[in-house]
Amino acid sequence: MGRFLVLLSLIVLFGFSGPTIEKNLSKSEWTKTIDELQSDINLLTSNSDTLSDMSGFLGNLQQLWKQLSNQLDGLTLNQQDREPKETKSIELAAPAEQVFSIHNVELGEPKSEIEQVTGPAKRASLNEYGTDWYSYHNHYQEFFMVMYDKNNKAAGLYTNQDLIASKNGIKMGTPKKTVRAALGEPITQIQKGLITYQLEQDRDYDMYLLDDVYVTVFYDKHNGHTVTAMQLIRKDLEDEKADYYSKATSELKEGFEYQLFDLTNASRVNHQLTTLTWDSHVRETARKHSRDMAVNDYFSHTNLQGQSPFDRMKQDQIIFLLAGENLAYGQLSSIFAHEGLMNSLGHRENILRNGYEYLGVGVAFNDKSQPYYTENFYAN
């Protein structure tokens, strides 16, 4: 009962202090977060069924806090915080046991040891393997993500920055022909039970199965087909994923959205650009368009009512001087979606446009659990 009263007191405190906070931060993106928090709290306090069910109430409040934490992770308070930071580069060492390491981390390392070096993750968000990607970075420099198994040991790794080390000399910027000379011909299919999934022929990545690890090497075709990112997934984790596409859930939708946001900022830092601020308002615009495409089975910047991205943003009262939109469809994760967008010149230009300030990402799934991704960029 004491814990309940404390939580109820917090709700009352937010209810009374919210308007004061909004007044003081009226020119800040934090206002949107306070609005959403207050709306969700009002919903909780007006629901007698929730209040009568202690465990349900606490669960909802915990989920609300997690959502708020993720939103705050995407916000920056001022222009200075968005500028690229000078950080000391990590000294990479060849992996001791495996073919590749990322940020000197190898698969199998305990989370506790990793975070002794990195500190706590900036964000945890659900991925297609039914676990979380934990993202680590310093203002999006030295950006990498780790997936942990049930024993809190690294079962997956990813980076799109210069954090790749190997026993064979493969690293960021290595030409594709050098990778293939060292690793051989990549695999062309993945077996899932009795079903064989064929990888697309015109892909801009190579996939290898090395020592029970699926190694995906992404190439930048606008930079001489050189290594631009790498993903390492333990084979047993891939085998547990029954289908090519994961079951669509609201948690996976949100996970893909935040992952695509983080990947975009990591790429911008690679090109000495300011990071973008997460915008929940335009995220809803993006979500609606993704959902419209998924439900009505089309893929276009112009919707079935003839509205352009700019029309949709104006309709949702987004005030902008500069705006743009990226779309992707069918990629099994935000990682594959982002790497594909970076290899499409027009989409790449949006991701790396100097004038943008805000980004909202909206994801939706069709009835086959295939994801639609919409990125809405703008500045005002």
pLDDT of residue 19: 32
pLDDT tens track of the chain, all 380 residues? 443 333 333 333 333 333 332 333 333 333 333 333 333 333 333 343 333 344 444 444 444 544 554 545 444 434 445 555 555 578 999 999 999 999 999 999 999 999 999 999 999 999 999 999 999 999 999 999 999 999 999 999 999 999 999 999 999 999 999 999 999 999 999 988 888 899 988 899 999 999 999 999 999 999 999 999 999 999 999 999 988 899 999 999 999 999 999 999 999 999 999 999 999 999 999 999 999 999 999 999 999 999 999 999 999 999 999 999 999 999 999 999 999 999 999 999 999 999 999 999 999 999 999 999 999 999 99
Cβ-based neighbour number of residue 278 at 10 Å = 26
Query: Model's pTM, two decimal places?
Result: 0.80
Contact 119, 138 (CB under 8 A): no
pLDDT of residue 12: 32
Helix (H, G, I), strand (E, B) or coil at 138: strand
Rounded to whole angstroms, how far apart are CA atoms 69 and 96?
36
Angle between helices 54-73 and 30-45 (to 10 degrees): 170
pLDDT of residue 195: 87
User: What tokens were used for 162?
Assistant: 């210069």
pLDDT of residue 83: 59
pLDDT of residue 85: 55
Contact 215, 232 (CB under 8 A): yes
